[in-house]
Amino acid sequence: MKPNILIIMVDQLTGTLFPDGPADFLHAPHLKALAARSARFAANYTASPLCAPARASFMSGQLPSRTRVYDNAAEFSSSIPTFAHHLRAAGYYTALSGKMHFVGPDQLHGFEERLTTDIYPADFGWTPDYRKPGERIDWWYHNLGSVTNAGIAEITNQMEYDDEVAFLANQKLYQLSRESQDAERLPWCLTVSFTHPHDPFVARQKYWDLYEGCDKLQPEIGFIPLEEQDPHSQRLYHASDYPSFDITSEDIAKSRRAYFANISYIDDKVGELLDTLKRTRMADDTIVVFCSDHGEMLGERGLWFKMSFLDGASCVPLMIAGPNITAGNHDTPTSNLDICPTLCDLAGIDMSAIAPWTDGTSLRHMIDGVERHEPVLMEYAAEGSYAPMVAIRDGRYKFVHCEIDPPQLFDLESDPAELTNLAEDSAHEQLVAGFASRVRERWDMARFDADVRESQARRWVVYPALRNGSYYPWDFQPLQKASERYMRNHMDLNVLEDRQRFPRGE
């Protein structure tokens, strides 16, 4: 029997807080217990440091230049296979509870069922515009209000969503456990995708209280003035509307405290899911994947949110546990692009038919102790950028290229804070030239730029047109058949009560 798969995805959780599972200071007992039995990937990266591009790449194993999901309002094509398609074709039941930020009329992308709607819109309204560099689109662009308004609340839009995501996911696990008692049951893949610890930086009191006196409430690298930042970080200052906000040390401390508190909130949700899995006797047959779409700068260097190739925004946790998974920490750089091929490999599914167009590679050999040699690739072409950016992480080095910016090269072993750009030092000229050559071999940057501009221009025509007159939303609407729930008069009560019980009566 193929293994069941439980994917727990969170939003905007930086991998810098997961050096080998959760950092010691985090109150995350359930994630720490999961880490102890997981293959842990300490240098794992997003494919693109923004929600929709990152998630399309996570599901497909393809970079944004292939998926054409360049930003948070770019359509994810129905013809691109995802891990949900691969698993479903192999006989798996596939379901999603929570966020995946699919844009376009296809809101399933291989999932047989979605239990919730999404938290963010599915239309083209959040399209950036390279024709107007530096223009802020105030009604949806991130600004620093999340930082100045940080604090305590018992319910928010984000909490209401994640409470629902967890409740329906646990309900689904109970249903799957009941079906597991049938001889012909299908293996399943349930993806549970939370929106926390994504800003706003607001947390429930009981989680906030866990971080009273925490010594991590200020960034390790303090504020860097605008004129001393690299060109892209300068653009991010403007994109987040820094001049309109006076960010105090107290604002920073509250934001970081709420962020840590929301990791603890997520930890409780993870604990619920894993406890249900154990009590329904499915844990021994289930692979558990814990991951995040992208990271969070969290005030380091004065930067917030994502949209950067700096490790705070681009490095993300990845842990895989389950049958035949050897626990241990892996320092070799890996990518969320690798998750799709890894899931297929662990489920015994052949991806060779689309391997030439897949950018990720299976991590199964790494888990089994065989070293990986492929570099990690990243792309970014959304708000805060004026032209597409690409990055290569290979061994100890990270190289960042953009046609309108000077190159950046960091040695993450000697300079984990990425404060020294080696590309400015002539002693590293040959190394920089080598990376630049690899960029030219891998990417046609002029074509990439033209493709992004074409996509944006098309959507700037389509979106206002579709909002004019009769409007049909693409947002996913979960449907439930009330006539098939609980007890109805076309059912035999004796059969129903036995069927809905786990374990069944003697």
Question: pLDDT tens for residues 39-74?
Answer: 999 999 999 999 999 999 999 999 999 999 999 999
Catalytic residues: 51, 101
Choose the CATH number for 4-374 among 3.40.720.10, 3.30.300.180, 1.10.287.10, 3.30.390.30. Answer: 3.40.720.10
Give 95's pLDDT tier (boundaries 50, 70, 90).
very high
Give 494's pLDDT tier (boundaries 50, 70, 90).
confident
Residue 25: predicted pLDDT: 98
Least confidently predicted of 365-369, 385-389, 441-445: 365-369
Residue 184: predicted pLDDT: 66
Residue 506: predicted pLDDT: 67
Full-model pTM: 0.96
Check if the beta carbon of residue 51 is closer than 8 Å to that of residue 235: no
* Mean pLDDT on 380-392: 97
Give 140's pLDDT tier (boundaries 50, 70, 90).
confident
CA dihedral 429, 435, 437, 443 (to 10 degrees): -150
β-bridge pairing 188-197 and 151-152: unpaired
Domain ranges (residues) in the chain: 4-374
Q: Three-state DSSP class for 249?
A: helix
**Beta bridge mates, 7:** 191, 289
Residue 67: predicted pLDDT: 98
For every residue of 306-359, DSSP letters joined together read S-S-SHHHHB--EEEESTT---EEE-S-EEGGGHHHHHHHHTT---TTTGGG--
Percentage of the residues of the chain whose pLDDT score is greater than 90:
90
Instruction: Please provide the size of the chain in residues.
Output: 506
The secondary element (H helix, E strand) that includes residue 394 is strand 389-394
CB atoms within 10 A of CB 29: 14
**Beta bridge mates, 410:** 398
Residue 505 has pLDDT above 80, yes or no: no
